[in-house]
Structure 1
Amino acid sequence: MNYVKYPEDFDDYAWELSSKGCFEVQAVVDGETINVNFYDKYRLQQDTELSEELGENFLAENIIVVDVVDRERMDAAIKSFHP
């Protein structure tokens, strides 16, 4: 079973994730714990454009783009990966 491993205090700040547009968290996928970076497309575009303006490369591992960064969409995205 695939699932997101939310921090214990996640509910204290979950409300602000949709406006932030990104969130890094651990998830279990096919029995392996990995780091996942959730982005909405607007924040991903902002971060890549800023990196370009600074003459840097944008680097983030295991990016998953969702419509809105919230628990419902993050859970659905992780559960959609089948072993």
Structure 2
Amino acid sequence: MEFAVSSFSLELPTDFEDYEWILESKGWFSEARIVVAERRYQINFYDLARHTQAIEGEFERGPIFFEPNLVIAPSVTRAHMERAAEELVQSGQILSLVAE
């Protein structure tokens, strides 16, 4: 199944712009959703530094790290999340994600 790029949207909370700068500094956001062909995917966005910290923390508590629908972006900003969503759809990798 292929998706046309024009047929997807990235959903963010309506007040996202009010706290986007905080998310960029935290390097993590899990309230984004990609909607494509009537399927919704909740995405967990991380930047590389924050994700490395998350993995290290999980290994201190147990033997594995797992997180569904994980996307690593250069920075957790609207622009980087939009580019990541577009890449997921264009490349067909969206099909590897778990829908809600």
Structure 1 residue 67 corresponds to structure 2 residue 80: no
Structure 1 residue 46 corresponds to structure 2 residue 57: no
**Bigger radius of gyration:** 2
Instruction: Extract unaligned runs of 5+ from structure 1.
Output: none
The equivalent position to 2:24 in structure 1, one of 18, 33, 36, is 18
Normalising by the residue count of structure 2, what TM-score does the alignment of the two structures yield?
Answer: 0.74
Normalising by the residue count of structure 1, what TM-score does the alignment of the two structures yield?
Answer: 0.87
SS in 1 for 2:66: coil
Task: Give every structure 1 segment of 4 or more consecutive aligned residues whose post-TM-superposition deviation is greater than 4 Å.
Answer: none
Q: Distance in 1 between matches of 2:78 and 2:28?
A: 12
Q: % of aligned pairs identical? A: 34
Superposition RMSD in Å: 1.6
Structure 1 residue 55 corresponds to structure 2 residue 62: yes
Instruction: Extract unaligned runs of 5+ from structure 2.
Output: 1-6, 93-100
Q: What is the match of residue 84 of structure 2?
A: 77
Higher RCO (CA < 8 A, seq sep 6+): 1
SS in 1 for 2:80: helix
